[in-house]
């Protein structure tokens, strides 16, 4: 329990650090993002509106940095992330609320699946070191060196087409209205197949490799030899003795690698024009939409922190030693 | 129980005896690893292209011509873009930017990780606590979105700026690994001996600790270069860094924004992507080479299945004593199930 509390305290600290970075980035922007917005809406904004925009983007020259910082925290706790430039005057929080479920469904499920598949293959490759499974390693190395987004481009060229079952872009059939009926869900699944496969192929090899290396290390431990000597079935020794112990570093590795993986998967959304957070980031970058960019960064960071916490809880469940101390 | 003595001799390979390698060749052992050697050769090739690329490029990469969206031909090896630019020249010229950013970011991040990781591990106490908290925070915050946001707030981010941003944000992993290793080294006998003889802290770190961290530092450097190359190409691909400087990401940016896919112009994005993948694979191979150099156990020992003289086959594995699963002989207490059971 103490371990878990320590982790939670650390994540709170990280969240604070991320939010503070988020606070300072727009203040480092040379020039004035609000001016560009005013130019875009020539004459449509009153002076009051302009002043409120300056306050909203934290560019109020009359307030001190500290009071801006306090105001910023107040806004965050109210879920107010400012107004988007691109979709003006839609609030950023509204845009993110629409796109977050898409990203969580796509990235969350594929990352988890890739971890499971990669770990199982790694168990086999490590256990049967020197068998044909080792031939798999160079192939997966090559696949993992391919940028996610380029693999996506390739997948679209090769597999998607006018008469293919794989749509090349979007999250669902253009005519449909998002709802919980079978037609919409079917369409959503169909649209997510290609992006999901892309993410799976490029991310799985890292797990195979790290799990294989852990298995090789664990396989020479004394308790494995003892398990063999007892005459336990091969499968039991592999799964319950070797794999269970080799899994622990891989689970903590999962937590740490998450930040990198999520960054890569966002690009897949861009290539497939998938209606998630990554695509929002792309749109925001294209039109210098700083509030939306910051909102995306904030949401991604917080989601990664939550996922990290879940990985920690999984670690607690897997490793009895961490539970004993509390 | 058919004569255990023969079983033991049968287990030893009947193949040719491997002569013990003379000690004088130790220095070249790393290069002798086929993975590392392949990786180094490919990396060397890309470095060469980075240097001479702009001189051997047949065309000016930005020069327009009347050959719009041409498939690869003798005149244009990798085809042309929507403006008639030669893609082969773009790839050649773009190599320099990719290698420059990758290596510079790698150097910056490695220097930072040594500074932070080794001092955290060696100093201990409050310094360790705060430095590891710092690196953990940087590790958990998703790096790519942070890089994208920081780079997009810098107007006209050139290669140098991009390399610095990537280098300054991606040192955390190396620092963490180095800290752990330094922690295990700082109480070793030879370090204590150096301390007892009155060596300065600075000398202990540079002369006693650092040489033992070489492999970790090298592998961290290679890992960071991979990440830096990917990040840089990503930044160019989504159009954040300046598109006036050519690199592989810029090519992909134009290919994506000009609908190369819809026009079936596969030659537009395939060469640049393959170059990225080959460079990334080469760097990963170097890293595997380092890993296997440090921990020989990880080597995929190619030939593990042995045929014994009396027709049994045995698989050699680390940590296991091969036992023959003889069908006719009664089982000894240590005989385990046959390999096929798994």
State the pTM of this model. 0.78
Contact flag A216-B234 (C-beta cutoff 8 Å):
no
- What secondary structure does DSSP assign to A196-263, as a single string? HHHHHHHHHHHHHHHHHHHHHHHHTSHHHHHHHHTT--HHHIIIIIIIHHHHHHHHHHHHHHHHHHHH
Which is nearest to A25 in space by CA: B152, B65, B30? B152
Give the pLDDT of residue A52. Answer: 65
Alpha helices by DSSP H, B197-247? 201-203, 214-237
Where exactly are the structural domains of chain B? 31-310
Does the pLDDT at position A180 exceed 80? Answer: no
CA-based torsion, B72, B73, B78, B79: positive or negative: negative
List of domains in chain A: 2-77 (no CATH), 100-322 (1.10.3720.10)
CA A233 to chain centre: 39
pLDDT surpasses 80 at B172: yes
Residue B271 and residue B88: Cα distance in Å, rounded?
A: 8
Q: What are the chain A neighbours of B280 within 8 Å (beta carbons)?
A: 144-146
Cβ A10–B133 below 8 Å, yes or no? yes
State how far the Cα of B60 lies from the Cα of A218, in Å rounded to an integer: 55
Task: Collect all residues of chain A within an 8 Å Cβ-Cβ radius of residue B170.
Answer: none
B161 and chain A in contact, CB less than 8 A: no
Q: CB of B142 within 8 Å of any CB in chain A?
A: yes
Give, for A191, the enclosing helix (H) or strand (E). helix A182-219
CB A142 within 8 A of CB B273: no
- B148 → closest Cβ in A141, A281, A304: A281
Assign B333 to helix, strand or coil: coil
Instruction: Give the model confidence (pLDDT) of A223-260 as tens digits.
Output: 888 888 888 888 888 888 888 888 888 887 787 777 77
Over the stretch B66-94, which tens digit does the pLDDT of each residue have?
Answer: 777 777 777 777 777 777 788 888 888 88
So what's the pLDDT on residue B341? 43
Query: Which residues of chain B neighbour A134 with C-beta distances below 8 Å?
Result: 300, 302
Q: What letter would DSSP give residue B80?
A: B
Nearest CB to B144 within list A14, A213, A263: A263
Nearest to A25 among B153, B226, B297 (CB): B153
CATH superfamily of B31-310: MetI-like (1.10.3720.10)
* B130-171 confidence digits (pLDDT tens): 888 888 888 888 888 888 888 877 766 678 888 888 888 888
Q: Does residue A141 have a pLDDT over 50? A: yes
Please tell me the predicted confidence (pLDDT) of residue A186.
Answer: 78
Spatial CA neighbour of B68 closest among B60, B76, B58, B57 = B76
The one-character DSSP state at B307 is E
- DSSP three-state, residue A91: strand
- Tell me what the mean pLDDT of segment A136-164 comes to: 77
Residue A30 pLDDT class (50, 70, 90 cuts): low
Question: How far is it between the farthest Cα atoms of chain B?
Answer: 85
Mutate to test the interface with A, among B35, B133, B134, B140 (most CBs of A within 10 A): B140
Confidence (pLDDT) at B322? 59
Inter-chain contact B140–A293, Cβ cutoff 8 Å?
Answer: no
The answer, yes or no, to whether residue B111 has pLDDT greater than 90, is yes
pLDDT bracket for residue B103 (50, 70, 90) = very high
- CB of B273 within 8 Å of a chain A CB? The answer is yes
Contact with chain A for residue B252, Cβ under 8 A: yes
A12: nearest CA in chain B? B137
Contacts of B319 in chain A (CB under 8 A): 219-221, 224-225
Give chain A positions within 8 Å (CB) of B265.
none
Window 304-323 of B, Cβ < 8 Å to A: 304-305, 315-321
**Across B247-260, average pLDDT:** 81
- DSSP of A268-295: HHHHTT-SSHHHHHHHHHHTT-HHHHHH
Find the angle CA(A197)-CA(A282)-CA(A188) to the nearest 5 degrees.
40
């Amino acid at each position: 329990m103490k371990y878990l509390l320590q982790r939670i305290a650390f994540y709170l600290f990280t969240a604070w650090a991320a939010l503070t970075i988020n606070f300072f980035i727009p203040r480092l922007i040379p020039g004035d993002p609000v001016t560009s917005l005013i130019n875009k809406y020539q004459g449509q904004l009153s002076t009051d509106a302009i002043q409120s925009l300056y306050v909203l983007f934290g560019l109020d020259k009359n307030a001190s940095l500290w009071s801006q910082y306090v105001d910023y925290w107040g806004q965050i706790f109210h879920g107010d992330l400012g107004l988007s430039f691109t979709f003006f005057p839609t609030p950023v929080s509204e845009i993110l609320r629409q796109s977050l479920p898409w990203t969580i469904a796509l990235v969350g499920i594929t990352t988890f699946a890739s971890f499971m598949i990669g770990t199982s293959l790694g168990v086999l490759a490590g256990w049967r070191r020197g068998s044909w499974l080792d031939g798999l390693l160079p192939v997966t190395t090559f696949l993992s060196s391919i940028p996610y987004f380029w693999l996506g481009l390739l997948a679209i060229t090769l597999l998607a087409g006018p008469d293919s079952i794989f749509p090349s872009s979007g999250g669902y059939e253009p005519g449909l209205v998002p709802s919980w009926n079978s037609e919409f869900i079917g369409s959503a699944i169909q649209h997510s197949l290609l992006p999901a496969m892309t993410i799976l192929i490029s991310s799985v090899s890292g797990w195979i490799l790290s799990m294989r290396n852990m298995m090789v290390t664990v396989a020479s431990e004394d308790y494995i030899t003892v398990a063999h000597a007892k005459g336990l079935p091969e499968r039991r020794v592999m799964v319950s003795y070797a794999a269970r112990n080799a899994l622990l570093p891989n689970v903590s590795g999962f937590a740490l690698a998450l930040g990198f993986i999520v960054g890569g998967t966002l690009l897949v959304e861009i290539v497939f024009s998938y209606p998630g957070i990554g695509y929002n980031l792309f749109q925001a970058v294209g039109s210098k939409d700083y509030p939306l960019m910051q909102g995306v960064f904030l949401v991604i960071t917080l989601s990664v922190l939550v996922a990290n916490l879940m990985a920690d809880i999984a670690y607690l469940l897997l490793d009895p030693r961490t539970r004993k101390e509390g | 129980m058919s004569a255990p003595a023969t079983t033991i001799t049968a287990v030893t390979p009947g193949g040719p005896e491997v002569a013990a390698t003379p000690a004088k060749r130790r220095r070249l052992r790393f290069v002798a690893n086929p993975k590392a050697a392949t990786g180094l050769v490919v990396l060397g090739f890309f470095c060469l292209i980075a240097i001479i690329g702009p001189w051997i490029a047949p065309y000016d990469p930005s020069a327009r011509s009347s050959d719009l969206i041409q498939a690869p031909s003798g005149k244009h090896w990798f085809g042309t873009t929507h403006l008639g630019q030669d893609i082969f020249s773009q790839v050649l010229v773009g190599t320099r930017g990719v290698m420059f950013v990758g290596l510079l970011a790698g150097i910056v991040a490695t220097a930072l990780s040594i500074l932070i990781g080794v001092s955290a591990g060696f100093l201990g106490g409050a310094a360790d606590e705060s430095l590891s908290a710092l690196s953990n925070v940087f590790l958990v915050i998703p790096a790519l979105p942070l890089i994208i946001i920081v780079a997009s707030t810098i107007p006209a981010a050139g290669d140098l700026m991009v390399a610095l941003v990537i280098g300054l944000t991606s040192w955390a992993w190396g620092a963490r690994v180095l800290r752990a290793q330094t922690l295990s080294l700082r109480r070793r006998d030879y370090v204590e001996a150096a301390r007892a003889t009155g060596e300065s802290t600075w000398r202990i770190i540079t002369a006693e600790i650092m040489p033992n961290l070489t492999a970790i530092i090298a592998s961290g450097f290679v890992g960071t270069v991979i990440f830096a190359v990917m990040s840089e190409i990503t930044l160019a691909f989504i159009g954040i860094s300046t598109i006036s400087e050519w690199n592989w990401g810029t090519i992909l940016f134009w290919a994506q924004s000009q609908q190369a896919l819809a026009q079936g112009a596969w030659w537009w994005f395939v060469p640049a992507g393959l170059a990225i993948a080959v460079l990334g694979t080469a760097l990963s191979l170097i890293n595997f080479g380092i890993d296997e150099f440090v921990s020989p156990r990880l080597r995929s020992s190619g030939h593990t299945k042995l045929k014994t003289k009396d027709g049994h086959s045995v698989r050699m594995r680390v940590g296991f004593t091969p036992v023959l699963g003889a069908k006719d002989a009664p089982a000894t207490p240590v005989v385990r199930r046959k390999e096929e059971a798994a």
